[in-house]
């Protein structure tokens, strides 16, 4: 260190005597202060580095990208849904739904959460079948058989330029 002791604040009791040990102690205190500042600066830089890494971790989360795309985008294209049939999809929150096309150009949405105990119902030909306890629903959501005693709730959708969008038109 090339620091001179003249830069140090005047400490009358230490300057008034000739104790070499006191000067060494003062130099030690100065050096300790510089080391502390260096460690603190390194900590700040490390924290900044960590902050830079955080967004990249967030952007690598596939689910966040899917949610935002689903929130502002189409649930499906009408052409993806067979006339007289249904496809499985998910809403903007990732909940399972069905998109049914009972006649060309008309799309109806249904929740795919079974009204019995909440399993996800699947498309099974021209019916919707729950894999858990065997409830079966038709393409309007009405129960056909099984322990579920309520129909599948409607999920509002509308068609715009060939795309199926969430919500009423």
Binding site for ligand FES (CB under 6 A): 114, 116-119, 130, 132-135, 146-148
Cβ 115 to ligand FES shortest distance, Å? 8
Cβ 116 to ligand FES shortest distance, Å? 3
Strands (DSSP E) found in the chain: 76-77, 85-90, 96-103, 106-111, 122-124, 127-129, 136-137, 143-145, 154-155, 157-160, 163-166
Q: Which is nearer to ligand FES, 77 or 145 (CB)?
A: 145
Cβ 59 to ligand FES shortest distance, Å? 36
Termini Cα distance of the chain = 75
Q: Which is nearer to ligand FES, 130 or 157 (CB)?
A: 130
Q: Which is nearer to ligand FES, 31 or 133 (CB)?
A: 133
Q: Going by DSSP bridges, is the β-strand pair 122-124/106-111 parallel, antiparallel, or unpaired?
A: unpaired
Cβ 78 to ligand FES shortest distance, Å? 28
CA distance 137 to 145: 7
Number of H helices, E strands in the chain: 3, 11
Q: Which is nearer to ligand FES, 38 or 134 (CB)?
A: 134
């Amino acid at each position: 260190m090339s620091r001179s002791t003249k830069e140090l604040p005047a400490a009358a009791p230490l300057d008034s005597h000739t104790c070499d040990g006191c000067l060494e102690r003062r130099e030690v205190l100065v050096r300790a202060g510089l080391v502390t500042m260096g460690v603190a600066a390194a900590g700040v830089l490390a924290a900044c580095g960590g902050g830079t890494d955080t967004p990249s971790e967030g952007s690598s989360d596939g689910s966040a990208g899917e949610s935002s795309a689903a929130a502002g985008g189409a649930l499906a294209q009408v052409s993806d849904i067979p006339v007289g049939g249904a496809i499985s999809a998910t809403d903007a929150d990732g909940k399972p739904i069905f998109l049914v096309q009972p006649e060309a150009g008309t799309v109806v949405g249904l929740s795919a959460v079974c009204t019995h105990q909440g399993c996800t119902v699947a498309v099974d030909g021209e019916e919707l079948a729950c894999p858990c306890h065997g409830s079966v629903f038709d393409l309007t959501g009405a129960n056909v058989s099984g322990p579920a005693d309520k129909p599948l709730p409607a999920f509002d959708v509308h068609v715009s330029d060939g795309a199926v969008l969430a919500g009423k038109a």
